[in-house]
């Protein structure tokens, strides 16, 4: 069971991660039934503190909290006093005064979630929903859940699964969290990207690097396409979008090279026609919609583990 | 520490409960069993096997009640255990809940809530291996393996071969 906060995929042990996935599986089965609502977190308050835009993650956390009967407060920087210049500290103290039990934070600065968790500004459990270019642990957990569901449903972990992560590794918090988590669960990871979109020091990561998508795609079980983050592409990391798309984009020709049971993933939002073609995104091999669906169950499991009981050591 | 039920006592109790369930419901036509993990699930499995032998096949499931416990906030959270809905569902069925020890009744209250999430059975009945008294809620068992008066400070521990390696019910003072 996880306790305290969820800030990084690196904080999770293999057993904690697998336990969480097992709990999520049970919750997914329950919420597939006629009654999706559980009384478990009645009376708890979850605040969605979003300093950056998000569709999926925010709605997913909101749905997860509501299915467990928690109250949800949505806070986005736009339209709040943050646009008047209020600091993270003052915002946090306001939320503390209102009795938040958990804060789900998405912030443009790497380390914002840890900052909130380490200070005494707020007593709530902090869940990192994406901090800058650092980490996005709940996305990694739902990706692990989706891979397990499709490829390793009966096995205990993800041993032997070969995962190709393609695209902007440099700016991708999704890639960072996934590399940490999936390698811990036994998967083998290959990164495919132009050299300009790989971070410094990547040779020390537990991954293989390749610059050629075509030579790798036939070998993998999972191909995870990353979004080209146009808002972070001010420097010229590649000559043109068209050239990027031709060398590193997923299209029907590359889709045809995939093994029979391989799956296509994308954390969303997609740039259709850039890193993934429309027909690849909608292909039968694509599990992108499953990822979104599983996100709710995984986030329910996280909220349940962090808020469900009394703190460890406080039991009777 | 005293032994309350031996392996053959448990066996006889399960057989008697099975007969009572079939008799009370006039056959197995509309019956389903659901065991409460961990040991209730194994007991349900055994009752199901015996009823299948004497009367005919009976659909059996497992019901995890963790998310419905009212003492959730008083203890650290527990991992969820699998819930298995009996084939054919529970809608309109006569559902027999199976657990190892009936004590405060709070587990059964949580189970009734958990059942409500899955569907609406026609009736819900309760079978337990041991009823040790000290109810905190207005709940009673329809089928009891053995009534054992206990002090509140004592503890009744059920061991089952499938999970603990042997069949035994003991009283821990």
Determine, yes or no, domain membership for A283.
Answer: yes
A136 included as an active-site residue = yes
Residues A303 and A173 in one domain: no
A-chain residue closest to B69, CA distance? A40
Interchain contact B64–A (C-beta under 8 A): yes
Residues A121 and A221 in one domain: no
Residues A58 and A131 in one domain: yes
Determine, yes or no, domain membership for A312.
Answer: no
pLDDT at A74 over 70: yes
Q: What is the mean pLDDT of residues A41-70?
A: 93
Q: What is the mean pLDDT of residues A232-251?
A: 88
Helix (H, G, I), strand (E, B) or coil at B79: coil
B-chain residue closest to A68, CA distance? B67
Residues A38 and A169 in one domain: no
Question: Cβ A316–B81 below 8 Å, yes or no?
Answer: no
Q: What is the mean pLDDT of residues A124-150?
A: 96
Under the banding of pLDDT at 50, 70 and 90, the label for residue A315 is: very low
The helix (H) or strand (E) run that includes residue A22 is helix A14-31
Residues A125 and A182 in one domain: no
Residues A122 and A24 in one domain: yes
Residues 288-307, chain A, touching B (beta carbon < 8 A): 304-305
Domains of chain B with bracketed CATH: 9-69+79-150 (3.40.50.2020)
Looking up tokens 């009795």, which residue turns up? A99
- Model pTM score: 0.86
Residue B122's pLDDT is 96
Residues A120 and A150 in one domain: no
Contact A158, A120 (CB under 8 A): no
Selected for mutation to probe chain B from A2, A40, A314 (highest B CB count within 10 Å) is: A40
Selected for mutation to probe chain B from A4, A23, A36 (highest B CB count within 10 Å) is: A23
Nearest beta carbon to residue A30 from set B113, B117, B119: B117
Give the length of chain B: 173
- Residue A85's CB is within 10 A of a number of other CB atoms, namely 7
Under the banding of pLDDT at 50, 70 and 90, the label for residue A113 is: very high
In chain A, the N- to C-terminal Cα span, in Å, equals: 18
The bridge status of strand B168-172 relative to strand B155-159 is: antiparallel
Per DSSP, A132 falls in state T
Q: What is the mean pLDDT of residues A266-295?
A: 95
Min Cα–Cα distance to chain B from A75, Å? 27
Task: Give DSSP secondary structure letters for A25-90.
Answer: HHHHHHHTSS-----TTTT-EEEEEESS--SHHHHHHHHHHHHTT-EEEEEESTTSGGGGT--HHH
Under the banding of pLDDT at 50, 70 and 90, the label for residue A181 is: very high
Q: How many angstroms separate the CA atoms of A207 and A191, rounded?
A: 7
Which residues, listed in sequence order, are joined to residue A250 by a DSSP beta bridge?
A276
pLDDT at A276 over 70: yes
Nearest beta carbon to residue B83 from set A22, A26, A34: A26
Q: How many angstroms separate the CA atoms of A162 and A220, rounded?
A: 5
Q: What is the mean pLDDT of residues A95-124?
A: 92
Q: How many angstroms separate the CA atoms of B40 and B37, rounded?
A: 5
Q: pLDDT of B104-148, one tens digit each? A: 999 999 999 999 888 899 999 999 999 999 999 999 999 999 999
Q: How many angstroms separate the CA atoms of A297 and A124, rounded?
A: 21
Contact B100, B128 (CB under 8 A): yes
When divided into structural domains, chain A yields a total of 2
Which residues, listed in sequence order, are joined to residue A73 by a DSSP beta bridge?
A47
Question: Cβ B75–A316 below 8 Å, yes or no?
Answer: yes
Interchain contact A85–B (C-beta under 8 A): no
Min Cα–Cα distance to chain B from A29, Å? 8
Question: Cβ A33–B118 below 8 Å, yes or no?
Answer: yes
Q: What is the mean pLDDT of residues A220-233?
A: 91
Percent of chain A residues past pLDDT 70, beyond the cut: 97
Looking up tokens 């500290």, which residue turns up? A89
Helix (H, G, I), strand (E, B) or coil at A104: strand
Q: What is the mean pLDDT of residues A60-82?
A: 89
The domain containing residue A55 runs over which residues? 9-136+293-307
B-chain residue closest to A37, CA distance? B117
A259 included as an active-site residue = no
Residues A132 and A13 in one domain: yes
Determine, yes or no, domain membership for A259.
Answer: yes
Nearest beta carbon to residue A315 from set B76, B118, B119: B76
The angle subtended at Cα A149 by Cα A34 and Cα B90, nearest 5°, is 30
**Does this complex have an ipTM over 0.90?**
no
Return the structure tokens found at B109: 């209250």
Taking all residues of chain A, what is their mean pLDDT, rounded to a whole number? 91
Percent of chain B residues past pLDDT 90, beyond the cut: 83
Residue A262's pLDDT is 96
Residues A164 and A127 in one domain: no
The bridge status of strand B143-147 relative to strand A263-265 is: unpaired
Q: Which of A136, A171, A176, A184 is catalytic?
A: A136
Interchain contact B104–A (C-beta under 8 A): no
Q: How many angstroms separate the CA atoms of A192 and A28, rounded?
A: 32
Residues A131 and A215 in one domain: no
Residues A127 and A154 in one domain: no
Q: pLDDT of B59-94, one tens digit each? A: 999 999 988 888 776 777 777 888 889 998 999 999
Question: Cβ A30–B119 below 8 Å, yes or no?
Answer: no
Question: Cβ A38–B78 below 8 Å, yes or no?
Answer: no
Residue A52 sits in a domain whose CATH number is 3.40.50.1370
| Nearest residue to B86 (alpha-carbon basis) of B59, B66, B63, B111 | B59
pLDDT at A311 over 70: no
Provide, as residue numbers in chain B, all residues whose Cβ is less than 8 Å from the Cβ of A26: 64, 80-83
Residue A110's pLDDT is 94
Q: How many angstroms separate the CA atoms of A120 and A93, rounded?
A: 9
Determine, yes or no, domain membership for A2.
Answer: no
- Residue B97's CB is within 10 A of a number of other CB atoms, namely 26
**Where are the extended beta strands (E) located within B67-167?**
94-102, 123-131, 143-147, 155-159
Q: How many angstroms separate the CA atoms of A114 and A111, rounded?
A: 5
pLDDT at A100 over 90: yes
A with B: how many residue pairs have Cβ under 8 Å apart? Answer: 61
Measured CA distances, B166 to A78, A156, A292, B146 (Å): 63, 27, 45, 18
Interchain contact A15–B (C-beta under 8 A): no
pLDDT at A120 over 50: yes
Q: What is the mean pLDDT of residues A97-109?
A: 93
Q: Is A234 exposed, middle or buried (0-12, 13-18, 19+ CB in 10 A)?
A: exposed
| Nearest residue to A187 (alpha-carbon basis) of A229, A231, A225, A140 | A140
Residue B1's pLDDT is 64
Q: pLDDT of B156-168, one tens digit each? A: 999 999 999 999 9
Q: What is the mean pLDDT of residues A248-266?
A: 95
Determine, yes or no, domain membership for A54.
Answer: yes
Contact A146, A107 (CB under 8 A): no
Determine, yes or no, domain membership for A3.
Answer: no
Determine, yes or no, domain membership for A313.
Answer: no
Q: How many angstroms separate the CA atoms of A19 and A304, rounded?
A: 12
Q: How many angstroms separate the CA atoms of B140 and B143, rounded?
A: 9
Determine, yes or no, domain membership for A236.
Answer: yes
Return the structure tokens found at B113: 């809530």
Residues A175 and A273 in one domain: yes
Residue A82's pLDDT is 74
Q: What is the mean pLDDT of residues A13-29?
A: 93
Please give the residue that has the higher pLDDT: either B72 or A195. A195
Q: What is the mean pLDDT of residues A111-137?
A: 93
Q: Which of A23, A31, A45, A57 is catalytic?
A: A57
Measured CA distances, A58 to A2, A47, A51, A83, B165 (Å): 21, 10, 11, 20, 47
Q: How many angstroms separate the CA atoms of B102 and B90, rounded?
A: 23
Question: Cβ B73–A309 below 8 Å, yes or no?
Answer: yes
Q: How many angstroms separate the CA atoms of A33 and A231, rounded?
A: 40
């Amino acid at each position: 069971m996880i306790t305290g906060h969820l800030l990084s995929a690196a904080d999770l042990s293999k057993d904690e991660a697998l336990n969480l996935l097992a709990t999520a599986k049970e919750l997914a089965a329950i919420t597939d039934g006629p009654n999706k609502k559980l009384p478990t977190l009645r009376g708890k308050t979850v605040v969605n503190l979003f300093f950056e835009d998000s569709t999926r993650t925010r709605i997913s956390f909101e749905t997860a909290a509501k299915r467990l009967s928690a109250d949800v407060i949505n806070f986005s920087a736009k339209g709040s006093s943050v646009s008047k210049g209020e600091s993270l500290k003052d915002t946090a103290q306001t939320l503390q005064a209102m009795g938040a039990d958990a804060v789900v934070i998405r912030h443009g600065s790497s380390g914002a979630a840890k900052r909130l968790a380490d200070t005494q500004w707020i007593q709530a459990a902090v869940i990192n929903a994406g901090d800058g270019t650092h980490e996005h642990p709940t996305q990694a957990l739902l990706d692990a859940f989706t891979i397990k569901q499709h490829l390793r449903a009966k096995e205990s972990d993800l041993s032997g699964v070969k995962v190709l992560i393609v695209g902007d590794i440099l700016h991708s918090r999704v890639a960072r969290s996934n590399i940490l988590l999936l390698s811990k669960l036994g998967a083998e990871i290959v990164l495919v990207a132009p050299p300009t979109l790989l971070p410094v020091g990547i040779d020390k990561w537990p991954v293989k690097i390749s610059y050629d998508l075509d030579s790798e795609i036939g070998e993998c079980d999972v191909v995870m396409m990353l979004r080209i983050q146009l808002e972070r592409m001010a420097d010229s990391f590649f000559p043109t979008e068209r050239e990027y798309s031709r060398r590193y984009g997923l299209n029907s020709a590359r889709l045809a090279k995939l093994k029979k049971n391989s799956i296509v993933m994308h954390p969303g939002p997609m740039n259709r026609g850039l890193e993934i073609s429309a027909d690849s995104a909608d292909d039968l091999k694509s599990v992108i919609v499953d990822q979104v669906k599983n996100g709710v169950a995984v986030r329910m499991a996280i909220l349940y583990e962090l808020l469900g009981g009394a703190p460890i050591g406080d039991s009777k | 520490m005293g032994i309350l039920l031996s392996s053959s006592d448990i066996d006889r109790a399960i057989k008697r409960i099975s007969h009572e369930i079939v008799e009370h419901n006039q056959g197995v036509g509309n019956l389903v069993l659901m065991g409460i993990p961990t040991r209730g699930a194994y007991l349900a499995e055994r009752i199901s096997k015996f009823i299948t032998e004497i009367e005919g096949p009976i659909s059996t499931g497992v019901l995890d009640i963790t998310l419905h416990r009212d003492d959730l906030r008083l203890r650290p959270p527990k991992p969820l255990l699998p819930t298995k809905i009996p084939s054919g569902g529970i809608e309109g069925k006569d559902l027999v809940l199976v657990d190892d020890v009936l004590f405060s009744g709070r587990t059964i209250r949580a189970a009734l809530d958990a059942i409500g999430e899955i569907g609406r059975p026609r009736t819900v009945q309760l079978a337990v291996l041991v009823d040790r008294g000290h109810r905190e809620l207005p709940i009673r068992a329809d089928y009891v393996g053995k009534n054992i008066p206990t002090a509140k400070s004592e503890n009744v521990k059920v061991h089952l071969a499938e999970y603990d390696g042997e069949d035994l019910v003991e009283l821990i003072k």
